[in-house]
Amino acid sequence: MKLLTFRGGIHPPSYKEKTKDCRIKRIPIPDFLYIYLSQHTGTPSSPIIEKGVEVKIGQKIATLGGKLSSALHSPVNGVYEGIVTHPHPLGGRKEAMKIRVLKEKDKPFEVTLREDVTSLSKEELIEIIKESGIVGMGGAAFPTYYKLQIPPGNKIKDLIINGVECEPFLTSDYRVMMEYSEEVIKGIDILRRIIEPENVWVAIEDNKLDAFRRLEDAASKFPWIKFALLKTKYPQGSEKQLISAITKREVPEGGLPFSVGAYVQNVGTVFAIYEAVYLGKPLFERVVTVTGSIRHPSNFLTPIGTPLEHLIEVAEGPIGEIAKVINGGPLMGITQATLKTCVTKGTTGILVQSERELKKMEPTPCIRCGACVLVCPMRLLPTELYKYIEKEKWDRVEDLGVLSCMECGSCSYVCPAKIPLTQEIKIAKNKLIKKESK
């Protein structure tokens, strides 16, 4: 099978061997959970329960706070202690629903098997997904019900299931594909019925051949599913790069995938859709890879709202002094200011790094080597952007397409002068966005 790929990109070490063979394990629940009202793209959720009430596992505790929002559900049996402000993974403190866990009442969620899924209409399926609080679980956390509402006049030609997981260290999607292959295929069938595409693709990189074959076997009764094997390269899992690699169509600057007849959904989200439709289970827990300088790297089934310090403790603690903890992978993840931040629906992994791994390297002047230009998947000129950012020539920075930058980190990774290009570009983007919003 021919390997597909896109222009640009980098080849960092994967470090996935630390957890790729670690089966998914349910963690012991902590004493308290903090469920953020804002853990998805859009308006924060709106609580629907009163302080002091007892909640059951899977119970809906917050509804949509606006047109683009998400419902929340309790991951445990516990007592709702009200709204608090709590350290958030994106920085600062944000409102969260604090739940005290009743460990004496700990028990698994009782599923409600739905016998005849095929009788459900497209609208009924979207409503189940909406009420189950499902968002994109690859990190973006965009509400899935909203993304499924394709604007009139836009026909989806290619539905692409993203099983790439190109960030180093992370293996949560890989384990879902290995352990729940038949469920993932059923989830894909639900999406196909809603979207009605011409083609359905499952996209996986060639460093996950066992997952590729596992899903191929599970799809033997679904001949309409096509498989695309991709060259292992970062950021292959980004929507635009994935669409380009498979369909050879380019999403225009500022455009969305449906504008070129494509729709991409992460494999973890597809599994959550299966659970919601077939089992009546809302999204209140997810698989999180805990890895790096940690004594027992693992893939944990983790309740939403679990503090990171609890996850690290369950993984038997760090090796040596912790220098840095990242929510997500090392290239697109977010450094955490405190271990009191909690798992959200978009948390793919927790990466612990020690002092020894963080070699401090001071930036030196640009040597005009062009390495950043060669790897940029958005075909930008990072070193030119950096030059005008330094001079605060914002009109020129915008003209050079800074807002198209997806902040994948490839330019910083290859820069021999160790210039923090991604960081500077990210700051510039925020300045321009604030300027335009005034």
* Three-state SS at 354: strand
- For residue 327, the surrounding DSSP H or E stretch is strand 322-327
Residue type, 257: P
Helices 181-195, 209-218: crossing angle, 10 deg rounding:
70
> What pLDDT was estimated at residue 152?
87
> What pLDDT was estimated at residue 139?
76
Residue 335's alpha-carbon distances to 62, 306, 328, 348, in angstroms, are 28, 17, 9, 14
The answer to whether 98 and 79 have CB atoms below 8 angstroms apart is no
d(CA 26, CA 40): 24
Span 16-57, pLDDT tens digits = 999 999 999 999 999 999 999 999 999 999 999 999 999 999
- For residue 350, the surrounding DSSP H or E stretch is strand 349-354
CA angle (70, 73, 74) in 5-degree steps: 150
347 pLDDT higher than 70: yes
Query: Which of 388, 387, 385, 365 minimizes the C-alpha distance to 376?
Result: 385
d(CA 233, CA 248): 17
Span 119-173, pLDDT tens digits = 999 999 999 999 999 999 987 799 999 999 988 888 999 999 999 999 999 999 9
DSSP class per residue in 37-75? S--SSSSPPEE-S-TT-EE-TT-EEEE-SSSS---EE-S
Q: For the chain, give the mean pLDDT.
A: 94
User: Which comes out higher in pLDDT, residue 217 or 357?
Assistant: 217
Q: Where are the beta strands (DSSP E) in 49-169?
A: 54-55, 60-63, 72-73, 78-87, 93-101, 158-162
- State pTM to two decimals: 0.93
Span 84-110, pLDDT tens digits = 999 999 889 999 999 999 988 888 899
Region 284-310: mean pLDDT is 97
d(CA 141, CA 272): 13
> What pLDDT was estimated at residue 154?
87
Q: Which residues contact 338 (CB under 8 A, 6 or more apart)?
A: 87
> What pLDDT was estimated at residue 136?
95
Phi, psi of 144 (to 5 degrees): -70, -40
The answer to whether 308 and 339 have CB atoms below 8 angstroms apart is yes
Q: Which of 10-14, 420-424, 425-429 is the most confident on average? A: 10-14
The rounded Cα 265 to chain-centroid distance in angstroms is: 10
